[in-house]
Structure 1
Amino acid sequence: MLAKEYRNHFIEKLTPLYDVLEAESFFYILLEDFHQMKRIDLALHPDFIFTDKEIDKWNQVLEKLEKEIPIQYILGKAHFYGLEFEVNENTLIPRPETEELVEWIVKKNEFKGKIKILDIGTGSGCIAISLAKNLPNAEVFAVDVSEKALEMANRNALANKADVVFMQKDILKTENLVHDFDLIVSNPPYVRNLEKEEIKKNVLDYEPHLALFVEDDDALLFYRKISELAQNNLKDNGELYFEINQYLGPEMINLLEAKNFKEIELRKDIYGNDRMIFGRK
Protein backbone atom coordinates (compact mmCIF):
# COMPACT_ATOMS: atom_id res chain seq x y z
CA MET A 1 0.00 0.00 0.00
CA LEU A 2 1.18 3.52 -0.75
CA ALA A 3 2.27 5.28 2.45
CA LYS A 4 0.14 8.31 1.62
CA GLU A 5 -2.93 6.04 1.23
CA TYR A 6 -2.26 4.45 4.60
CA ARG A 7 -1.83 7.92 6.06
CA ASN A 8 -5.38 8.82 5.02
CA HIS A 9 -6.71 5.57 6.50
CA PHE A 10 -4.76 6.13 9.74
CA ILE A 11 -6.08 9.67 10.23
CA GLU A 12 -9.64 8.65 9.33
CA LYS A 13 -9.59 5.89 11.98
CA LEU A 14 -8.38 8.27 14.69
CA THR A 15 -10.40 11.42 14.01
CA PRO A 16 -13.41 10.31 16.09
CA LEU A 17 -11.06 10.36 19.11
CA TYR A 18 -8.50 13.05 18.25
CA ASP A 19 -8.61 16.20 16.15
CA VAL A 20 -7.14 15.95 12.66
CA LEU A 21 -3.92 17.78 13.52
CA GLU A 22 -3.19 15.49 16.48
CA ALA A 23 -3.96 12.35 14.44
CA GLU A 24 -1.70 13.64 11.68
CA SER A 25 1.07 14.39 14.18
CA PHE A 26 0.88 10.77 15.40
CA PHE A 27 1.33 9.54 11.84
CA TYR A 28 4.48 11.60 11.30
CA ILE A 29 5.94 10.69 14.71
CA LEU A 30 5.57 7.02 13.77
CA LEU A 31 6.81 7.59 10.21
CA GLU A 32 10.05 8.97 11.60
CA ASP A 33 10.35 6.24 14.23
CA PHE A 34 9.56 3.33 11.90
CA HIS A 35 11.04 4.57 8.61
CA GLN A 36 13.38 7.44 9.53
CA MET A 37 11.33 9.67 7.23
CA LYS A 38 10.06 13.17 7.90
CA ARG A 39 6.98 14.83 6.44
CA ILE A 40 9.05 16.42 3.66
CA ASP A 41 10.54 13.02 2.73
CA LEU A 42 7.08 11.57 2.15
CA ALA A 43 6.11 14.61 0.08
CA LEU A 44 9.23 14.12 -2.04
CA HIS A 45 8.58 10.38 -2.43
CA PRO A 46 4.81 10.07 -3.03
CA ASP A 47 5.26 6.51 -4.36
CA PHE A 48 6.81 5.21 -1.12
CA ILE A 49 5.18 1.88 -0.23
CA PHE A 50 4.56 0.16 3.10
CA THR A 51 5.07 -3.62 2.91
CA ASP A 52 2.45 -5.97 4.37
CA LYS A 53 4.72 -6.62 7.35
CA GLU A 54 5.13 -2.88 7.93
CA ILE A 55 1.37 -2.36 7.71
CA ASP A 56 0.89 -5.02 10.39
CA LYS A 57 3.24 -3.06 12.63
CA TRP A 58 1.38 0.19 11.93
CA ASN A 59 -1.99 -1.47 12.58
CA GLN A 60 -0.83 -2.75 15.96
CA VAL A 61 0.01 0.80 17.01
CA LEU A 62 -3.21 2.15 15.49
CA GLU A 63 -5.17 -0.31 17.62
CA LYS A 64 -3.47 0.99 20.76
CA LEU A 65 -4.07 4.61 19.76
CA GLU A 66 -7.75 3.78 19.29
CA LYS A 67 -7.74 2.66 22.94
CA GLU A 68 -6.25 6.10 23.69
CA ILE A 69 -2.99 4.72 25.02
CA PRO A 70 -0.50 7.65 24.87
CA ILE A 71 1.82 7.40 21.89
CA GLN A 72 4.81 7.99 24.20
CA TYR A 73 3.94 4.83 26.15
CA ILE A 74 3.45 2.89 22.92
CA LEU A 75 6.91 3.90 21.69
CA GLY A 76 8.41 3.82 25.20
CA LYS A 77 10.00 7.23 24.82
CA ALA A 78 9.35 10.96 24.87
CA HIS A 79 11.34 14.03 23.86
CA PHE A 80 11.96 16.81 26.37
CA TYR A 81 14.20 19.87 26.15
CA GLY A 82 16.17 18.40 23.26
CA LEU A 83 16.75 15.05 24.96
CA GLU A 84 15.12 11.63 24.65
CA PHE A 85 13.64 9.94 27.73
CA GLU A 86 12.39 6.43 28.32
CA VAL A 87 8.85 6.51 29.71
CA ASN A 88 6.27 3.96 30.82
CA GLU A 89 3.19 3.73 33.02
CA ASN A 90 5.31 4.36 36.16
CA THR A 91 6.12 7.94 35.17
CA LEU A 92 4.28 10.95 33.83
CA ILE A 93 4.89 11.87 30.21
CA PRO A 94 7.09 15.01 30.12
CA ARG A 95 5.15 18.02 28.90
CA PRO A 96 5.96 21.26 27.04
CA GLU A 97 4.87 23.36 30.04
CA THR A 98 7.56 21.67 32.13
CA GLU A 99 10.12 22.49 29.44
CA GLU A 100 9.23 26.14 30.04
CA LEU A 101 10.00 25.70 33.74
CA VAL A 102 13.40 24.18 32.88
CA GLU A 103 14.09 27.02 30.44
CA TRP A 104 13.33 29.59 33.15
CA ILE A 105 15.76 27.93 35.55
CA VAL A 106 18.50 27.56 32.92
CA LYS A 107 18.26 31.21 31.86
CA LYS A 108 18.45 32.45 35.45
CA ASN A 109 21.41 30.23 36.36
CA GLU A 110 23.49 29.58 33.22
CA PHE A 111 26.21 32.10 34.09
CA LYS A 112 26.52 31.26 37.77
CA GLY A 113 29.35 29.32 39.38
CA LYS A 114 28.92 25.99 41.09
CA ILE A 115 25.39 25.44 42.41
CA LYS A 116 23.63 22.55 44.14
CA ILE A 117 20.14 21.65 42.83
CA LEU A 118 17.41 19.36 44.16
CA ASP A 119 14.49 18.11 42.03
CA ILE A 120 11.64 16.77 44.20
CA GLY A 121 9.32 14.18 42.60
CA THR A 122 11.61 13.54 39.67
CA GLY A 123 9.59 10.84 37.86
CA SER A 124 11.35 10.09 34.57
CA GLY A 125 14.14 12.44 35.67
CA CYS A 126 13.41 14.90 32.87
CA ILE A 127 13.86 18.08 34.94
CA ALA A 128 16.96 16.94 36.84
CA ILE A 129 18.68 15.47 33.77
CA SER A 130 17.89 18.49 31.59
CA LEU A 131 19.31 20.83 34.24
CA ALA A 132 22.43 18.67 34.66
CA LYS A 133 23.01 18.73 30.89
CA ASN A 134 22.42 22.47 30.50
CA LEU A 135 24.04 23.77 33.70
CA PRO A 136 27.50 22.16 33.68
CA ASN A 137 28.44 23.86 36.97
CA ALA A 138 25.46 22.31 38.77
CA GLU A 139 25.57 19.38 41.16
CA VAL A 140 22.13 17.82 40.75
CA PHE A 141 20.19 15.61 43.17
CA ALA A 142 16.70 14.18 42.65
CA VAL A 143 14.21 12.33 44.84
CA ASP A 144 11.03 10.34 44.24
CA VAL A 145 8.82 8.09 46.34
CA SER A 146 8.50 5.50 43.54
CA GLU A 147 11.25 2.91 43.24
CA LYS A 148 10.17 2.04 39.69
CA ALA A 149 10.27 5.70 38.64
CA LEU A 150 13.78 6.02 40.07
CA GLU A 151 14.96 2.95 38.17
CA MET A 152 13.79 4.62 34.96
CA ALA A 153 15.28 7.99 35.91
CA ASN A 154 18.64 6.29 36.46
CA ARG A 155 18.45 4.67 33.03
CA ASN A 156 17.58 8.03 31.48
CA ALA A 157 20.53 9.70 33.19
CA LEU A 158 22.89 7.02 31.86
CA ALA A 159 21.43 7.22 28.35
CA ASN A 160 21.80 11.01 28.31
CA LYS A 161 25.24 10.96 29.99
CA ALA A 162 23.99 13.17 32.82
CA ASP A 163 25.42 13.15 36.33
CA VAL A 164 22.49 13.09 38.77
CA VAL A 165 22.30 11.57 42.26
CA PHE A 166 18.91 9.87 42.71
CA MET A 167 17.41 9.02 46.11
CA GLN A 168 14.19 7.29 47.17
CA LYS A 169 12.32 9.47 49.63
CA ASP A 170 8.73 10.16 50.67
CA ILE A 171 8.90 13.93 50.83
CA LEU A 172 5.76 14.19 52.99
CA LYS A 173 7.51 12.12 55.68
CA THR A 174 10.84 13.96 55.38
CA GLU A 175 11.79 16.28 58.23
CA ASN A 176 15.09 17.48 56.83
CA LEU A 177 16.93 17.20 53.52
CA VAL A 178 20.39 15.64 53.24
CA HIS A 179 22.14 18.79 52.05
CA ASP A 180 21.66 22.53 51.80
CA PHE A 181 20.82 23.62 48.25
CA ASP A 182 21.11 26.72 46.10
CA LEU A 183 17.99 25.76 44.16
CA ILE A 184 15.00 23.47 44.73
CA VAL A 185 12.52 22.66 41.97
CA SER A 186 9.41 20.50 42.01
CA ASN A 187 6.56 19.49 39.74
CA PRO A 188 4.49 17.66 42.38
CA PRO A 189 0.99 16.16 42.10
CA TYR A 190 -1.44 19.06 41.77
CA VAL A 191 -4.60 17.97 39.95
CA ARG A 192 -7.61 17.97 42.27
CA ASN A 193 -10.14 15.13 42.05
CA LEU A 194 -12.78 17.72 41.14
CA GLU A 195 -10.78 18.44 37.96
CA LYS A 196 -10.79 14.81 36.77
CA GLU A 197 -13.60 15.53 34.33
CA GLU A 198 -11.26 17.95 32.53
CA ILE A 199 -8.59 15.28 32.12
CA LYS A 200 -8.42 13.41 28.83
CA LYS A 201 -8.98 9.65 28.88
CA ASN A 202 -5.43 8.97 27.64
CA VAL A 203 -4.08 10.68 30.78
CA LEU A 204 -6.71 9.50 33.25
CA ASP A 205 -6.60 5.84 32.24
CA TYR A 206 -2.87 5.39 31.67
CA GLU A 207 -0.68 7.90 33.53
CA PRO A 208 0.15 7.21 37.22
CA HIS A 209 -2.41 8.76 39.57
CA LEU A 210 0.20 8.87 42.34
CA ALA A 211 2.03 11.55 40.34
CA LEU A 212 -1.11 13.43 39.26
CA PHE A 213 -3.76 13.81 41.91
CA VAL A 214 -4.23 15.43 45.31
CA GLU A 215 -7.30 15.61 47.54
CA ASP A 216 -9.68 18.49 46.90
CA ASP A 217 -9.52 19.71 50.50
CA ASP A 218 -5.69 19.95 50.60
CA ALA A 219 -4.53 20.72 47.06
CA LEU A 220 -1.38 22.53 48.24
CA LEU A 221 -0.19 19.67 50.47
CA PHE A 222 3.07 19.08 48.57
CA TYR A 223 3.78 22.78 48.01
CA ARG A 224 3.38 23.56 51.68
CA LYS A 225 5.67 20.71 52.75
CA ILE A 226 8.34 21.47 50.14
CA SER A 227 8.25 25.19 51.02
CA GLU A 228 8.83 24.30 54.67
CA LEU A 229 11.78 22.07 53.74
CA ALA A 230 13.11 24.84 51.51
CA GLN A 231 13.02 27.26 54.43
CA ASN A 232 15.37 24.90 56.29
CA ASN A 233 17.50 23.57 53.44
CA LEU A 234 17.83 26.39 50.93
CA LYS A 235 20.89 28.54 51.35
CA ASP A 236 20.38 32.27 51.91
CA ASN A 237 19.03 33.82 48.69
CA GLY A 238 18.35 30.29 47.40
CA GLU A 239 15.76 29.81 44.65
CA LEU A 240 12.52 27.80 44.81
CA TYR A 241 10.61 26.87 41.63
CA PHE A 242 7.31 25.03 41.23
CA GLU A 243 5.08 23.91 38.42
CA ILE A 244 1.56 24.56 39.67
CA ASN A 245 -2.16 23.96 39.15
CA GLN A 246 -3.38 26.64 36.74
CA TYR A 247 -6.34 27.47 38.99
CA LEU A 248 -4.29 28.03 42.15
CA GLY A 249 -1.88 30.84 41.22
CA PRO A 250 -3.13 33.36 43.84
CA GLU A 251 -3.16 30.65 46.52
CA MET A 252 0.45 29.78 45.66
CA ILE A 253 1.51 33.42 45.96
CA ASN A 254 -0.15 33.56 49.39
CA LEU A 255 1.57 30.35 50.46
CA LEU A 256 5.05 31.55 49.49
CA GLU A 257 4.44 34.94 51.12
CA ALA A 258 3.35 33.16 54.32
CA LYS A 259 6.60 31.16 54.22
CA ASN A 260 8.56 34.44 53.95
CA PHE A 261 9.79 34.01 50.39
CA LYS A 262 10.60 37.19 48.46
CA GLU A 263 10.76 38.27 44.79
CA ILE A 264 7.79 35.97 44.13
CA GLU A 265 6.97 35.69 40.43
CA LEU A 266 4.03 33.84 38.86
CA ARG A 267 4.37 32.96 35.16
CA LYS A 268 1.96 31.73 32.52
CA ASP A 269 2.68 28.83 30.16
CA ILE A 270 2.43 28.82 26.37
CA TYR A 271 -1.32 28.22 26.69
CA GLY A 272 -1.85 31.33 28.82
CA ASN A 273 -2.39 29.44 32.09
CA ASP A 274 -0.73 30.24 35.42
CA ARG A 275 1.80 27.40 35.51
CA MET A 276 5.11 28.32 37.21
CA ILE A 277 6.10 30.20 40.32
CA PHE A 278 9.41 31.35 41.76
CA GLY A 279 10.40 32.55 45.19
CA ARG A 280 13.69 33.47 46.83
CA LYS A 281 14.58 32.61 50.40
Structure 2
Amino acid sequence: MATKKNAQNHEEAQNCFTPLALSSLDDFFKSYDYFSKDERTRLQTAYLYLLEKTKNLHRSSGEPYFEHPYRVAEILAQSKLDADSIIAAFFHNIFELNIVSESEIESLFGKTVLNITKGTAKITSMQIKSKTMQEAASFRKMLFAMVDDIRIILVKMADRLDRMRHLKEVSAESQKKIAQEVIDIWAPLANRLGMSNVKSELEDLSLKYTNPDVFQQLKQLVALKKSERSEYLLLAQKEIYSLANKHGIEVAIRSRAKHFYSIYQKMKKRNKAAED
Protein backbone atom coordinates (compact mmCIF):
# COMPACT_ATOMS: atom_id res chain seq x y z
CA MET A 1 0.00 0.00 0.00
CA ALA A 2 2.82 2.37 0.92
CA THR A 3 4.60 1.57 -2.34
CA LYS A 4 1.45 2.35 -4.31
CA LYS A 5 1.10 5.65 -2.46
CA ASN A 6 4.74 6.57 -3.12
CA ALA A 7 4.33 5.78 -6.82
CA GLN A 8 1.22 7.98 -6.94
CA ASN A 9 3.07 10.81 -5.20
CA HIS A 10 5.94 10.60 -7.69
CA GLU A 11 3.52 10.54 -10.62
CA GLU A 12 1.83 13.67 -9.28
CA ALA A 13 5.24 15.26 -8.69
CA GLN A 14 6.31 14.61 -12.27
CA ASN A 15 3.31 16.55 -13.54
CA CYS A 16 4.38 19.74 -11.75
CA PHE A 17 8.08 19.77 -12.69
CA THR A 18 9.58 21.57 -15.67
CA PRO A 19 10.58 19.53 -18.72
CA LEU A 20 14.20 20.57 -18.05
CA ALA A 21 14.17 19.09 -14.56
CA LEU A 22 12.75 15.79 -15.79
CA SER A 23 14.86 15.53 -18.94
CA SER A 24 18.00 15.96 -16.83
CA LEU A 25 17.63 12.42 -15.49
CA ASP A 26 17.19 10.99 -19.00
CA ASP A 27 20.40 12.76 -20.02
CA PHE A 28 22.09 11.41 -16.89
CA PHE A 29 21.29 7.78 -17.75
CA LYS A 30 22.39 8.28 -21.36
CA SER A 31 25.74 9.66 -20.25
CA TYR A 32 26.31 7.23 -17.39
CA ASP A 33 24.96 3.85 -18.42
CA TYR A 34 26.83 1.63 -15.96
CA PHE A 35 23.92 1.28 -13.52
CA SER A 36 21.77 -1.85 -13.30
CA LYS A 37 18.01 -1.73 -13.84
CA ASP A 38 17.35 -1.79 -10.08
CA GLU A 39 19.91 0.96 -9.50
CA ARG A 40 18.34 3.12 -12.19
CA THR A 41 14.98 2.72 -10.44
CA ARG A 42 16.52 3.75 -7.10
CA LEU A 43 18.22 6.76 -8.69
CA GLN A 44 15.00 7.85 -10.39
CA THR A 45 13.10 7.55 -7.11
CA ALA A 46 15.75 9.59 -5.30
CA TYR A 47 15.84 12.30 -7.97
CA LEU A 48 12.05 12.66 -8.03
CA TYR A 49 12.09 12.79 -4.23
CA LEU A 50 14.64 15.63 -4.39
CA LEU A 51 12.51 17.51 -6.92
CA GLU A 52 9.38 16.98 -4.87
CA LYS A 53 10.97 18.27 -1.65
CA THR A 54 12.68 21.30 -3.22
CA LYS A 55 10.31 22.21 -6.05
CA ASN A 56 9.57 25.69 -4.66
CA LEU A 57 13.11 26.47 -3.50
CA HIS A 58 15.67 28.67 -5.24
CA ARG A 59 19.15 29.79 -4.28
CA SER A 60 20.12 33.44 -3.85
CA SER A 61 21.32 33.45 -7.48
CA GLY A 62 17.81 32.49 -8.60
CA GLU A 63 18.90 28.99 -9.61
CA PRO A 64 16.48 26.15 -8.78
CA TYR A 65 17.71 24.36 -5.67
CA PHE A 66 17.94 20.92 -7.28
CA GLU A 67 20.49 21.92 -9.94
CA HIS A 68 23.53 21.98 -7.65
CA PRO A 69 23.00 18.49 -6.15
CA TYR A 70 22.28 17.17 -9.64
CA ARG A 71 25.64 18.51 -10.86
CA VAL A 72 27.40 17.04 -7.81
CA ALA A 73 25.89 13.65 -8.71
CA GLU A 74 27.16 14.07 -12.28
CA ILE A 75 30.71 14.76 -11.07
CA LEU A 76 30.66 11.52 -9.08
CA ALA A 77 29.13 9.56 -11.96
CA GLN A 78 32.03 10.66 -14.17
CA SER A 79 34.22 8.56 -11.85
CA LYS A 80 31.65 5.73 -11.93
CA LEU A 81 30.81 5.85 -8.25
CA ASP A 82 28.10 3.53 -7.00
CA ALA A 83 24.37 4.27 -6.74
CA ASP A 84 24.49 4.97 -2.99
CA SER A 85 27.08 7.71 -3.58
CA ILE A 86 24.99 9.27 -6.35
CA ILE A 87 21.85 9.26 -4.20
CA ALA A 88 23.80 10.77 -1.30
CA ALA A 89 24.98 13.48 -3.71
CA PHE A 90 21.34 14.33 -4.45
CA PHE A 91 20.74 14.74 -0.71
CA HIS A 92 24.13 15.99 0.51
CA ASN A 93 22.77 19.30 1.84
CA ILE A 94 19.09 18.50 2.24
CA PHE A 95 19.20 18.30 6.05
CA GLU A 96 20.10 22.00 6.31
CA LEU A 97 16.65 22.79 4.88
CA ASN A 98 14.80 21.02 7.73
CA ILE A 99 12.31 19.53 5.29
CA VAL A 100 13.13 15.83 5.73
CA SER A 101 14.10 13.61 8.65
CA GLU A 102 16.99 11.19 8.92
CA SER A 103 14.59 8.32 9.52
CA GLU A 104 12.72 9.14 6.30
CA ILE A 105 15.92 9.08 4.23
CA GLU A 106 16.98 5.80 5.84
CA SER A 107 13.62 4.09 5.33
CA LEU A 108 13.39 5.16 1.67
CA PHE A 109 17.01 4.89 0.55
CA GLY A 110 18.90 2.83 3.12
CA LYS A 111 21.36 3.19 5.96
CA THR A 112 24.40 3.67 3.70
CA VAL A 113 22.86 6.66 1.93
CA LEU A 114 21.93 8.16 5.29
CA ASN A 115 25.46 7.64 6.63
CA ILE A 116 27.11 9.33 3.63
CA THR A 117 24.59 12.18 3.66
CA LYS A 118 25.03 12.79 7.40
CA GLY A 119 28.81 12.62 7.11
CA THR A 120 28.87 15.16 4.30
CA ALA A 121 26.55 17.47 6.25
CA LYS A 122 28.83 17.19 9.30
CA ILE A 123 31.86 18.32 7.29
CA THR A 124 29.84 21.21 5.83
CA SER A 125 28.90 22.39 9.32
CA MET A 126 32.51 22.47 10.54
CA GLN A 127 34.35 25.76 10.86
CA ILE A 128 37.48 25.34 8.75
CA LYS A 129 40.24 27.65 9.92
CA SER A 130 43.71 26.98 8.54
CA LYS A 131 45.97 29.99 8.98
CA THR A 132 49.12 27.91 8.51
CA MET A 133 50.14 24.92 6.39
CA GLN A 134 50.43 22.84 9.57
CA GLU A 135 46.85 23.66 10.58
CA ALA A 136 45.60 22.76 7.10
CA ALA A 137 47.48 19.44 7.21
CA SER A 138 46.04 18.70 10.66
CA PHE A 139 42.52 19.37 9.44
CA ARG A 140 43.00 17.06 6.45
CA LYS A 141 44.20 14.28 8.76
CA MET A 142 41.23 14.87 11.04
CA LEU A 143 38.82 14.48 8.10
CA PHE A 144 40.19 11.05 7.29
CA ALA A 145 40.05 10.07 10.96
CA MET A 146 36.44 11.18 11.48
CA VAL A 147 34.83 9.49 8.46
CA ASP A 148 34.05 5.78 8.34
CA ASP A 149 33.36 5.81 4.61
CA ILE A 150 35.68 7.45 2.06
CA ARG A 151 32.63 8.22 -0.09
CA ILE A 152 31.75 10.98 2.40
CA ILE A 153 34.91 12.85 1.41
CA LEU A 154 34.30 12.14 -2.29
CA VAL A 155 30.78 13.62 -2.14
CA LYS A 156 32.07 16.69 -0.32
CA MET A 157 34.92 17.00 -2.84
CA ALA A 158 32.40 16.99 -5.70
CA ASP A 159 30.30 19.56 -3.84
CA ARG A 160 33.32 21.84 -3.51
CA LEU A 161 34.26 21.40 -7.17
CA ASP A 162 30.80 22.39 -8.36
CA ARG A 163 30.71 25.38 -6.02
CA MET A 164 34.07 26.52 -7.35
CA ARG A 165 32.76 26.25 -10.91
CA HIS A 166 29.89 28.58 -9.94
CA LEU A 167 31.73 30.81 -7.47
CA LYS A 168 30.96 33.98 -9.42
CA GLU A 169 27.45 33.81 -7.96
CA VAL A 170 28.62 34.69 -4.41
CA SER A 171 30.15 37.86 -2.95
CA ALA A 172 33.80 38.77 -3.55
CA GLU A 173 34.59 38.22 0.13
CA SER A 174 33.07 34.73 0.08
CA GLN A 175 34.87 33.94 -3.17
CA LYS A 176 38.29 34.51 -1.63
CA LYS A 177 37.43 32.66 1.57
CA ILE A 178 36.10 29.58 -0.25
CA ALA A 179 38.94 29.61 -2.79
CA GLN A 180 41.55 29.71 -0.02
CA GLU A 181 39.85 26.81 1.77
CA VAL A 182 39.99 24.80 -1.44
CA ILE A 183 43.72 25.49 -1.86
CA ASP A 184 44.45 24.58 1.78
CA ILE A 185 42.15 21.57 2.19
CA TRP A 186 40.42 20.15 -0.87
CA ALA A 187 43.08 20.34 -3.59
CA PRO A 188 45.64 18.50 -1.40
CA LEU A 189 42.97 15.91 -0.51
CA ALA A 190 42.23 15.37 -4.20
CA ASN A 191 45.95 14.87 -4.78
CA ARG A 192 46.17 12.33 -1.94
CA LEU A 193 43.22 10.40 -3.39
CA GLY A 194 44.85 10.26 -6.82
CA MET A 195 42.31 12.64 -8.40
CA SER A 196 44.83 14.67 -10.41
CA ASN A 197 42.31 16.23 -12.79
CA VAL A 198 40.11 17.38 -9.90
CA LYS A 199 43.17 18.73 -8.06
CA SER A 200 44.29 20.74 -11.10
CA GLU A 201 40.84 22.21 -11.71
CA LEU A 202 40.38 23.13 -8.04
CA GLU A 203 43.77 24.85 -7.98
CA ASP A 204 43.18 26.79 -11.19
CA LEU A 205 39.73 27.93 -10.07
CA SER A 206 41.13 28.96 -6.69
CA LEU A 207 43.87 31.02 -8.35
CA LYS A 208 41.21 32.72 -10.45
CA TYR A 209 39.61 34.13 -7.29
CA THR A 210 42.57 34.53 -4.92
CA ASN A 211 44.81 36.21 -7.50
CA PRO A 212 42.66 37.17 -10.51
CA ASP A 213 45.24 39.46 -12.15
CA VAL A 214 47.89 36.72 -12.26
CA PHE A 215 45.31 34.18 -13.45
CA GLN A 216 44.26 36.33 -16.41
CA GLN A 217 47.88 37.13 -17.27
CA LEU A 218 48.81 33.44 -17.28
CA LYS A 219 45.72 32.54 -19.29
CA GLN A 220 46.65 35.03 -22.01
CA LEU A 221 50.32 33.99 -22.12
CA VAL A 222 49.50 30.27 -22.29
CA ALA A 223 47.08 30.93 -25.16
CA LEU A 224 49.73 32.97 -27.04
CA LYS A 225 52.36 30.24 -26.73
CA LYS A 226 50.04 27.33 -27.54
CA SER A 227 51.03 27.03 -31.23
CA GLU A 228 54.71 27.41 -30.33
CA ARG A 229 54.44 24.54 -27.83
CA SER A 230 52.57 22.36 -30.31
CA GLU A 231 55.30 22.74 -32.95
CA TYR A 232 58.02 21.94 -30.41
CA LEU A 233 56.19 18.84 -29.14
CA LEU A 234 55.60 17.58 -32.68
CA LEU A 235 59.30 17.85 -33.52
CA ALA A 236 60.30 16.18 -30.25
CA GLN A 237 57.86 13.32 -30.81
CA LYS A 238 59.15 12.70 -34.34
CA GLU A 239 62.73 12.54 -33.10
CA ILE A 240 61.87 10.16 -30.26
CA TYR A 241 59.85 7.86 -32.54
CA SER A 242 62.67 7.85 -35.10
CA LEU A 243 65.28 6.85 -32.52
CA ALA A 244 62.97 4.24 -30.99
CA ASN A 245 62.25 2.62 -34.37
CA LYS A 246 65.94 2.59 -35.19
CA HIS A 247 66.62 0.50 -32.08
CA GLY A 248 63.46 -1.63 -32.35
CA ILE A 249 61.79 -0.14 -29.30
CA GLU A 250 58.04 0.40 -29.07
CA VAL A 251 57.15 3.66 -27.37
CA ALA A 252 53.98 5.60 -26.59
CA ILE A 253 54.33 9.32 -25.99
CA ARG A 254 51.92 11.35 -23.94
CA SER A 255 52.22 15.01 -23.03
CA ARG A 256 50.28 17.30 -20.75
CA ALA A 257 50.25 21.04 -20.35
CA LYS A 258 50.99 22.45 -16.93
CA HIS A 259 47.93 24.03 -15.41
CA PHE A 260 47.88 27.68 -14.36
CA TYR A 261 48.36 27.14 -10.63
CA SER A 262 51.37 24.90 -11.27
CA ILE A 263 52.96 27.60 -13.45
CA TYR A 264 52.17 30.20 -10.78
CA GLN A 265 53.86 28.10 -8.08
CA LYS A 266 56.95 27.68 -10.26
CA MET A 267 57.04 31.45 -10.88
CA LYS A 268 56.94 32.11 -7.14
CA LYS A 269 59.64 29.56 -6.45
CA ARG A 270 61.96 31.06 -9.06
CA ASN A 271 60.89 34.62 -8.29
CA LYS A 272 59.99 35.30 -11.92
CA ALA A 273 57.28 37.26 -13.70
CA ALA A 274 54.76 35.58 -15.98
CA GLU A 275 56.51 36.91 -19.10
CA ASP A 276 59.68 35.03 -18.19
Q: TM-score, normalised by structure 1?
A: 0.34
Bigger fraction of residues in helix: 2
Pair member with larger Rg: 2
Q: TM-score, normalised by structure 2?
A: 0.34
Bigger fraction of residues in strand: 1
